[in-house]
Structure 1
Amino acid sequence: MVKRDTEISESLQHPRRSLGNRYRSQAEKFLKLRLENHSNLSWAEQNARQSVLYDFTNDENWRTLIKIKVLMKDTEGALAVLGDLFSVLGRESDLVMQLSGQEIIDSCQDLLEAALTEDPLDADQWWNKTKKNEAEIQEFKKRLRSLDISDQRANILYSRRIERLRVAGLEDDFLELSRIILAHRPNNHEAWEQLGMLYERREEFDEAWLCYDQAQTVSPINSSRDRFKERMVSLFQGKGISPWKKPNVSDRSIFLDRLRDLTKIEDEIDHVERVKLGSDEGDFARINDLRQQGKLSEAFFLARRLATEGLEGSKEIVDELLGELDA
C-alpha cells in the first residue's frame, strides 16, 4: 500500500527551475574538466540527470544530458534519455527502445534536437510556434484527445500548453482539454486551479468551487478553495442578497462521475460490471477492481465521490490512491 508524502510529491511533480539550472551548471563544469580526469565525466552525467529530474521543462537540461551520454558512448543510456523525453511529450517511448542493440550513438543528439524542434518543452516557445497556424492548433487539440498523458510530467506539460489557449481566448477548447488532462491525472492541482479560475471569471461559482475543492484535496498546500470562499464572502457581503453556498453533495457527486466517465473507453461506460449495483459494497469492490487493473484515475474519482458522500473508509482510500498516482 502506497502512503503519500505530500512534500516529496510536490517537489517532484512541479518543475523547479533554479535547482535544474544549478545542477546543469555543475554538469557543464565537470564536462569541461573531463580531459583532466575521466571520472569528471561520470560526475557530469550524475548532475545532468539531476537537472532533468528537477526541471524537465528546460530543453537545455536534456541537451546537456544527451551530450554527455554520447561522449560516454553509452548507446543504451542515450536511448533511455530519448525514451524518457518521449514520455514527457506524450509520445510512445517504446518506439525509441526498438532501436536498442543498434549502434546509433552518433545520431542521438540529432534525434533529441528534432523532437525538441517539433515539440518545444517550454510552453511559451511552443505557443509562439503554434499560434501562427490555425491548422496546427486544431491538430494539437485532436492529438491531445488520443495521447497518453498519464505520466505526471506530460500532464503538467500539456496543462501549461492549454493554459496558453485560455489566455488567447480559446476558452471552450481550454475547458474541454482540461477535463481530458485531469481525467488522465487527477492529482494535477495546477490544472484544477486554472480550470477553477476560468469558471470563477465566468461567474459559474459552483463549478469553480468544485475545481478549487479538487485542487486543495489533492494538494493540501494549495489554498485555492479557502481563498475562493473568502472572495465569495466579500463579493456578496452588503449586497442584500443570499450568500453563495458551496454545491450540495448531489451536485459534487455528479461532477465527479462525469470526470470518471472520461477515463473510460466508450463501451465500458455502458457495460461496467457492478457488484450489487448502487450499493456501497459494490462501489468499494469496483474501486479494488479498478486498482488491480491499473485504472487509478477512474478509481480515484469513484473514491472521491464516496468521500464526498461521507462513506466511512473512503477518505483513506482517496489518500492511498493519491500516493499510487504520485508513484
Structure 2
Amino acid sequence: MGESLSQRLQHPRRSLGDRHRSQAEKFLRLSNQGEGEFSVNIQWAEQNARQALLHDFTHPENWRMLAKIKVLLADDIGIRALLSDLFAVLGRDPEYVSQLEDVSLLDVGSELLNAALQNDHLDSDIWIQSFDASDVDSFVERFLKLDLSDPRCNVLFGRRLERLWDIAGSDVCIHLGKVLLSHRPQNYEMWTNLGRAHERMGDYDQAWLCYDQAQSYAGHLTVRDDFKERMESHFDGNSSVAWSRPEISVRKDFLVTMEKLSTRFSDSVIDTGASNEEVHVDQSGDERRLENMLKNGDFSSAFFLSRRLVTSGEMWAKEYLEASKLALEGKDDVIIP
C-alpha cells in the first residue's frame, strides 16, 4: 500500500532529496561548462531541484540549490515565490516578501533565504541546541499566533515541540500540541506524542483519545491497540474494575474542545454552546454548519464537528467526516515554486 501525502510529509525522504539534489548539481555544472544546450541542462537542473525540495523540505541545501538556479535563470518571480514558500514553512508572514516588491530579489534573494535558514534552522535537533529556557514564553506567544495549516510548517513545529518537551514541560506542550492539531488533525505523529504524555501523567482517557486519533489517520499504526493491551494487562488482577475506553460523553467533550480550537483562524461562525455539556444535536443546523465550513475551506472545523456528531450516533454526518478528511488530505499536496 502506498503512502498517503500526510505520511510522506511526516517522514521526509532525505535519501531521495539528496539524490535529486545531486542530479540538479550535475545538470547545473553541465550548463555552466557549456556542455550541450544551456536551456535543456538548466531545465533539468531546476526540475531535479524542485523534486529534491518536494522529497525533503527539511534540508537547507535543497532550498539553496533551487534558489541558485532561479537566480541563474533571472527568475525574479520564482525567487520571490520560493522565499514566500520558505517563510510559510518557517511560520513567518509571507507578506514580508511583498514589502520588497520594489527591490530586485535577483540581487538579494539568495542572501535573504540564507539568513532565514541560518537564523531559524529547519533541522529540529539543531534548532533546539540554540534554544534557552528563557525563550519559552516568546516561543509560546509566537506559536499561538501562527497559521499552522501549511502541512510542512505543521510538521516542522510539531518536531520542534517534541524537542521542547523537556524544557517547557507537559502543561505547555500538551496545549500547544492541541493547537497544532486543530490546524491539521492528520498529524498523527503529534497525536501519538500527546497520547504518550497523557499516559505518563496517568490521564488514560485522554491518552486513549489521542492514540485513537493517531491510529484513525494512520492505519499502519497500532498505538491505540497497544495502549489497550497495556491497560488491560495493568488492570488485570490489580483492580475490581476492568479498564474500558472513555465514555461517549468524554469523547464528545474532547472533540468539542478541538473544534473550538480549530475556529481560531476560521471564517465560519461556530456556536458549540456555552459549555461542553450544553451541546445539543440539531441535524438541520449542524448540517448547514458543516456545509458552510466545507464551502469556506474550514476543513479542520468540519472534521472535528462531524466526528463529534458521528461519535454521538449521528451517522448522517459520516459523509461530511469523509469529505473533510479528503479535503484535509488534499491540502497536503505541496507545489514547489
TM-score (norm 1): 0.90
Q: Secondary structure at the match of 2:138?
A: helix
Q: 2:281 aligns with which of 267, 272, 278?
A: 278
Pair 1:290-2:293 in alignment: yes
CA contact (8 A) 1:66 1:78 kept: yes
Residue in 1 that maps onto 2:227: 228
Give the distance between the partners of 2:104 and 2:268, measured in 1 at CA: 46
User: What is the CA deviation profile of residues 184-209 of structure 1, one whole-angstrom value per residue up to 9, with x for unaligned ones?
Assistant: 11111111111001111112111000
Measured after TM superposition, the shift of residue 243 of structure 1 is 2.1
CA contact (8 A) 2:67 2:110 kept: yes
CA contact (8 A) 1:165 1:173 kept: no
Aligned length: 320
User: What is the CA deviation profile of residues 204-256 of structure 1, one whole-angstrom value per residue up to 9, with x for unaligned ones?
Assistant: 11100000111112222222111211222222233344221100111100000
Q: Secondary structure at the match of 1:261?
A: helix
Give the distance between the partners of 1:198 and 1:126, measured in 2 at CA: 22
Measured after TM superposition, the shift of residue 22 of structure 1 is 1.6
Give the distance between the partners of 2:76 and 2:135, measured in 1 at CA: 34
Q: 2:30 aligns with which of 24, 29, 33?
A: 33
**Identical counterparts, % of pairs:** 44
Residue in 1 that maps onto 2:198: 199
Pair 1:300-2:300 in alignment: no
Residue in 1 that maps onto 2:111: 110
Structure 1 residues 254, 114: CA separation in 2 closer, same or farther (over 3 Å shift)?
Answer: same
Give the distance between the partners of 2:157 and 2:119, measured in 1 at CA: 15
Residue in 2 that maps onto 1:126: 127
Structure 1 residues 316, 13: CA separation in 2 closer, same or farther (over 3 Å shift)?
Answer: farther
Measured after TM superposition, the shift of residue 310 of structure 1 is 2.5
Give the distance between the partners of 2:315 and 2:139, measured in 1 at CA: 42
Give the distance between the partners of 2:13 and 2:251, measured in 1 at CA: 33
Larger deviation, residues 45-54 vs 283-292: 283-292
CA contact (8 A) 1:165 1:171 kept: no
Pair 1:75-2:65 in alignment: no
Q: Secondary structure at the match of 2:57?
A: coil
Structure 1 residues 308, 41: CA separation in 2 closer, same or farther (over 3 Å shift)?
Answer: same
CA contact (8 A) 1:30 1:43 kept: yes
CA contact (8 A) 2:161 2:173 kept: yes
Measured after TM superposition, the shift of residue 13 of structure 1 is 4.9
Q: Secondary structure at the match of 1:263?
A: helix
Give the distance between the partners of 1:157 and 1:46, measured in 2 at CA: 24
Give the distance between the partners of 2:247 and 2:268, measured in 1 at CA: 25
User: Where does structure 1 lack aligned partners over 5 or more consecutive residues?
Assistant: none
Runs of 4+ in 1 over 4 A off after TM superposition: 265-271
Which AA in structure 2 matches 1:281? S
Give the distance between the partners of 2:21 and 2:267, measured in 1 at CA: 46
Measured after TM superposition, the shift of residue 103 of structure 1 is 2.4
Larger deviation, residues 21-30 vs 233-242: 233-242
Give the distance between the partners of 1:270 and 1:185, measured in 2 at CA: 19
Q: Secondary structure at the match of 2:202?
A: coil
Q: Pairwise mapping of residues 90-169 of structure 1 onto structure 2 (< 5 A)?
A: 90-100=91-101, 102-131=103-132, 134-168=133-167
Measured after TM superposition, the shift of residue 313 of structure 1 is 3.0
Structure 1 residues 106, 123: CA separation in 2 closer, same or farther (over 3 Å shift)?
Answer: same
- CA RMSD in angstroms comes to 2.5
TM-score (norm 2): 0.88
Residue in 2 that maps onto 1:257: 256
Measured after TM superposition, the shift of residue 267 of structure 1 is 12
Give the distance between the partners of 1:100 and 1:270, measured in 2 at CA: 35
Q: Secondary structure at the match of 2:74?
A: coil
